[in-house]
């Protein structure tokens, strides 16, 4: 169960990382749209798992690898955005959120 503080920090990180991808998304994945679907943060607010949805969903692993390679720069940009709200900028890790592909697969199976 997440605390109120965890939820607030998760929303803040989600909003700011989404802004970073909006401004610099073409550097990481030209021709693709990257959106943040969920942010999970540890109870001590030191580590955040960020789940990405990539459209179109072809070659997701390559895009994820590029984003993971740029994690220090993204964390630096995040630190500049939230420096007045957070004392410590959490370490971040990116993961693919494949829930939309899973839902699409279930729909396709049900229609067959």
**What pLDDT, on a 0 to 100 scale, did the predictor assign at position 107?**
87
Both tokens of residue 23? 């401004």
55 alpha-carbon distance from chain centroid: 13
Cβ within 8 Å of residue 87, ≥6 positions away: none
Which residue in the block uniquely carries the two structure tokens 């690898």?
65
Domain at 77, CATH number: 3.30.300.20
Domain count of the fold of the chain = 1
Per the structure block, which two tokens stand in for 92?
Answer: 């971040």
Angstrom distances, CA of residue 54 to CA of 9, 32, 33: 23, 7, 6
Distance CA 86, CA 67 (A): 23
Could you read off the pLDDT of 14-41 as tens digits, one per residue? 999 999 999 998 888 888 999 999 999 9
pLDDT tens-digit series, residues 65-94: 999 999 999 999 999 999 999 999 999 999
Q: Which domain holds residue 10?
A: 4-111
């Amino acid at each position: 169960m997440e605390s109120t503080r965890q939820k607030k920090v998760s929303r803040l990180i989600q909003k700011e990382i989404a802004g970073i991808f909006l401004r610099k998304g073409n550097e990481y994945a030209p021709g693709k749209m990257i959106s943040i679907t969920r942010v999970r943060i540890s109870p001590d607010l030191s580590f955040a798992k960020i789940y990405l949805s990539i459209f179109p969903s072809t070659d997701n692993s390559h895009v994820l690898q590029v984003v993971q390679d740029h994690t220090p720069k993204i964390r630096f940009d995040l630190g500049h955005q939230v420096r007045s709200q957070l004392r410590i900028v959490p370490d971040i890790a990116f993961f693919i959120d494949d829930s939309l592909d899973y839902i699409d697969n279930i729909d396709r199976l049900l229609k067959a």
